[in-house]
Copies of this chain bind each other. A is one copy, B any other.
Amino acid sequence: MRSISFAQAINEALSEAMRQDERVICYGLGVDDPKGVFGTTLGLQEKFGDHRVFDMPTAENAMTGVAIGASLNGIRPVMTHQRLDFFLLAMDQLVNNAAKWHYMFGGRRSVPITIRLILGRGWGQGPTHSQNLQAWFAHIPGLKVVMPTTAEDAKGLLLSSIFDENPVVFLEHRWLHNVQGHVPEGDFRIPIGKAHVVREGADVTIVSMSYMTIEALHAMEFLEKNGVSCELVDLRTVSPLDWDTVFNSVKKTGRLLALDTGSATGSVAGEIVARVSMGLWSSLKQAPRRLAMPDFPEPTSPALTQGFHVRAEHIAREVAEMLGKAIDHGQIAAQRKHPHDVPGNWFNGPF
Interface residues of A (CB under 8 A from B): 61, 85, 88-89, 91-92, 95-96, 99-100, 103-104, 126-128, 131, 133, 135-136, 138-142, 239, 262-263, 265-268, 270-271, 273-275, 277-279, 281-282, 286-290, 295-297, 299-300
Contacts and interface: CB of A to CB of B under 8 A. Distances in A.
B141 A128 contact: no
Given A95-B131, A135-B266, A270-B271, 5 more contacts: A103-B296, A103-B297, A104-B297, A133-B139, A270-B274
A295 B141 contact: yes
Contacts of A288: 274, 277-278
A287 B278 contact: yes
A246 to B, nearest CB: 13
B92 A104 contact: no
B103 A96 contact: no
B141 A263 contact: yes
Contacts of A95: 88, 131
A136 to B, nearest CB: 5
A265 B281 CA distance: 18
Contacts of A126: 104
A237 to B, nearest CB: 13
